[in-house]
Amino acid sequence: MSTLAAHTYLTPEEYLTWERKQPFKNEYHNGQIITMSGASRSHNRITVDITIQLGNQLMDGKCEVFASEMRVRTNPAVSYFYPDVIVVCGEPRFEDDTFDTLLNPILVIEVLSPSTAAFDRGEKFEHYKQIASLQEYLLISQDRVRVEHYRRQGTQWTHNTFQELEDVLQFASIGCEVPLRAIYRRVRLNAS
């Protein structure tokens, strides 16, 4: 969840230097700082539960799961985002020797908030698509059962929407599957 901060334009280098000194997370997009606000209980529960599901399945393999605190850089249009969940396989590549900015995620997951849903589906996704290693992008609604799964197929992205607790997400890029019931198990859902 994020909100646009005062109009302060920084270069990517200035942003990183500034961000590493901040007590709270801030994203960087089109030269602007986007302050990250707190997330709801449902948002946090979903993030934790999908992280646990993926972490348990990937524990002894070549992939690693990061939740909420790892920054991702897009390129060539430089933006820095803090996805809710990230998976990287093989050797993680970082921007520098601080090891806090990942360059090669294979899966990015965002839990949607009312204030960020349109941005996450649109402009943010366009930036994520620039990451050559990215194979799958997942958007999870927090107030109803709805998961949007995007998968790279060559130069195109396919899209599937899941809306039943009985549905099971298949992550081809990492060889995992996660039932929606496990993602939403502790969330009070709106009837729709």
What tens digit of pLDDT does each residue of 91-114 get? Answer: 999 999 999 999 999 999 999 998
Per-residue model confidence (pLDDT) at position 13: 93
Kindly state the DSSP code that residue 191 receives in the 8-state scheme.
P
Average pLDDT over residues 143-162: 96
Mean pLDDT for the chain overall = 92
Both structure tokens of 138: 């997942």
In CATH terms, is domain 40-183 a member of 2.30.110.20? no
**Residues 6 or more apart from 175 whose CB is under 8 A from it?**
57, 61
Average pLDDT over residues 150-168: 97
3 state DSSP class of 72? strand
Per-residue model confidence (pLDDT) at position 4: 44
CB atoms within 10 A of CB 161: 10
Q: For tokens 């920054």, name the residue.
A: 71
* Position 155, amino acid: T
Omega before residue 76 within 30° of 0, cis: yes
Per-residue model confidence (pLDDT) at position 68: 86
Both structure tokens of 155: 């130069």
- The domains of the chain are located at 40-183
Alpha-carbon distances, residue 64 vs 54, 88, 97, 122 (angstroms): 9, 5, 18, 27
Distance CA(131)–CA(69), nearest Å, equals: 19
pLDDT level of residue 152 (50, 70, 90 thresholds): very high
pLDDT level of residue 79 (50, 70, 90 thresholds): very high
Share of the chain above pLDDT 70, in %: 95
pTM of the model: 0.92
- Taking the CA atoms of residue 186, residue 188, residue 191 and residue 192 in that order, the dihedral angle to the nearest 10 degrees is -70
Alpha-carbon distances, residue 191 vs 17, 97, 143, 145, 182 (angstroms): 45, 48, 9, 9, 18
